[in-house]
Structures are given as structure tokens and as C-alpha cells.
Amino acid sequence: MSLINNAIVSVVKRMPESVVWQFSKRYIAGTTLNDAVDFVKKLNEKGIYATIDVLGESVQSKDEAVTAKQNALKVLEAIETNKLMANLSIKPTQMGLGIDEEFTYKNVYDLVETAAKKNNFIRIDMEDSPFTDKTIALYKKLHEKFSGVGIVVQACLKRTEKDVVSLNPEGCNYRIVKGIYVEPVEISFRDRQEIRDNYVKVLEIMLKDGNYVGIATHDEHLINEAYRLIKKYNVPNDKFEFQMLLGVREDLRDKINADGYKIRIYVPFGKDWFAYCTRRLKENPDFTKNVVKSVFGIN
């Protein structure tokens, strides 16, 4: 499937953005904060939570990182003003992690401190492997001062089990994902079932140790395994939630919601939507299938 996805991405990159938007808009709330707020309100009406993300990453200057921080602060303000059932997700490189670690810490500190004052929460996304150690270090430093901050771990990385065993005693708040970055074979699992198996293995360690987990997946097999582990360890509903991307497997989203479990949707918005969609196309079969249907007019 990845070869097909890569071929489609190559075609998509040559298309006018106005055309690409037509099949990308189901995965993006819009280009403005108001678009995101309106979308989250609709999710909340169904009892579904959200995490809002201002699209963008890998800034090239400190000024860009400060602008990204200011945009994120506006999201926190909008969540409070509109009484949304939502929190904020951020990418470390958007806050300057590729430029200066201490500068990034101060940026993210401002966000986490503001979120704490508003009784909200910041999720620090995990990017590709050159930033794994730096992201964990950033999270640990912030978690020493604030409880309302969490991190993401990727089941595709061989190191993740050890990272989780190390983080669990600190009462870590996780989001666990398969991982979308193409990493060197020396440090990552490539086989689909190997990634699945590691996901379940790591998830069990998290739940057994009593950590809060955002179980982020569109894989029905993994959702069923999560249900099994929740029952096996009698995990209370306030110690986990399920998470999904906007526009993907809404049938499963609604089933989880109907089953009485908390479900949170990742709601991205912003002018940098094109890069987000092409990256997702490379690894997500649901994105790819919908692009093919849109391009060829298949219902």
C-alpha cells in the first residue's frame, strides 16, 4: 500500500491546491481558528471531545516559533471562551525544538502554564526519531512543574517499550499511536503485524501500571484489543480515552462513543493544511482510498 500511497502523493503534489482541497477538507476543520471552534462545537454536541492543532512544524526561526506560540495561546483562549470540550496539541519543532532547546522549553512552558490556569491540558506530539530524546526531555522538565501535560509515543519504534517503562513511575499521560514517520529499520518495526503487536504490548504496560492513556488508532483490531485489556485490568473510564483523526473511520468513532467510552478527535486547522494532508497520504490507507474516489468520481 505504501508504494501506491507514494505514487498518489506524487500526483497530488502536482495538482492545484484548490483541487487538492476538495478531497482534503474532510480531514481539516478549515484555515481559521473560527473554523476549528465551529467544528469542535458540532463534535461536542455529540458528546465527542477534541484536541485542536494549529498546523505547522519545523519552523526556521525563533520569530516563527513565537508566532506559533501566540497562535496556540489563542486556541486556549477560544476553548475557554466557547466552553469547548477540547484541549491543545502542539508539535515541538513548531515551537523551536530544531533551533534551541531552552528557547523551546520557555515557549512551551508559557503554553502549559496558561493551560493550567484555564484548567486545560497540552499534548506534546512526537515527531520523527531525531527529536525523540529531546521531546521526552522537554516533557519531563515540564511535568516536574505541571500535571496538565502529556506526551505521545509511537509503537513503530523499538525503543518505545523501554521509554514507557521509564516514564510510567512518573504518572505519565500518554497518547499511543502506531507512528507515521518512515524510520531506519535499525530502530523501527516495519511489518504491520509487528507494529500492532508492539502497540498492544506497550498499551498493556501503560494500563496495568495505572497511567492515563489516549488510545489513538483507526485499526479495528487494536480497538478490540484495547477493549479486551480494559476489561482484563478493570480499567476505570477516567483512566483512558480513545482518539482518532478528523475524517477517518467515523463509523468506529461513533461505535466507541455509543459503547460509552470517551472519544477525542484530533482537529487540525490552519494555512499549512497541504503539507499535513500529503504527509498523511503516505501512510494512511483511508486517506488514500478517499483521494482515489474523489479524483475518479467514485461514490
- Active site positions, annotated: 125, 175
Closest residue by Cα to residue 50 from 199, 257, 222: 257
Q: Distance between CA atoms of 123 and 213, rounded to whole angstroms?
A: 12
Q: Distance between CA atoms of 155 and 189, rounded to whole angstroms?
A: 8
Q: Distance between CA atoms of 72 and 190, rounded to whole angstroms?
A: 34
Closest residue by Cα to residue 40 from 286, 262, 252, 264: 264
Cα–Cα distances in angstroms (integers) from residue 135 to residues 39, 127, 132, 200, in the given order: 29, 8, 5, 23
Q: Distance between CA atoms of 284 and 287, rounded to whole angstroms?
A: 5
Please count the other Cβ atoms lying within 10 Å of the Cβ belonging to residue 160.
23
Q: Distance between CA atoms of 232 and 210, rounded to whole angstroms?
A: 13
Grid coordinates belonging to 55: 498546523
